[in-house]
Structure 1
Amino acid sequence: MNLNHQELQNLRHLIGSHQVTERKLNFYADECQDPQCKQMFSQSSKSASQTIQKLMSFLG
């Protein structure tokens, strides 16, 4: 798949945004005392990580 410049820039932006989100959610999960909250943040972080991997697959 050949991406044009705009598509590549958009993809990089999306990946970066998801990386920030993943880090924040991991931090929230680590800080959370409530087991349900911890699980919710952990699952959301894992989802962001999976999305990053999917987006990265478009790069190469």
Structure 2
Amino acid sequence: MNINHMELENIRHLVGSHQTVANKLESYANQCQDPQLKQMLIQDAQAAKNSAQKLIGFLQ
């Protein structure tokens, strides 16, 4: 699949955004005292990482 420059930049931006969200969610989880909320934050962080990896797959 060939992507143009604009699409490449958009994917890079999305990857960065997903990575930022994952980092923030992990940070919040580390500060969280409620076990259920902590687990939810960890799961959401992992989902954001997975999405970033899928997007990176378009760049290969």
Q: Which TM-score tier does this pair reach, normalised by the shorter chain?
A: over 0.9
Counterparts of 1:21 and 1:51, CA distance in 2: 11
Q: What is the count of residue pairs matched by the alignment?
A: 60
- Counterpart position of 2:42: 42
- Structure 1: segments with no counterpart, 5+ residues: none
Q: Which runs of 4+ in 1 moved over 4 A?
A: none
- Counterpart position of 2:12: 12
- Structure 2: segments with no counterpart, 5+ residues: none
Q: RMSD over aligned Cα, in angstroms?
A: 0.5
- Counterpart position of 1:56: 56
Q: Using the aligned pairs only, state the percent identity.
A: 55
Counterparts of 1:49 and 1:22, CA distance in 2: 6
Counterparts of 1:49 and 1:16, CA distance in 2: 10
TM-score norm. by structure 1 comes to 0.97
TM-score norm. by structure 2 comes to 0.97
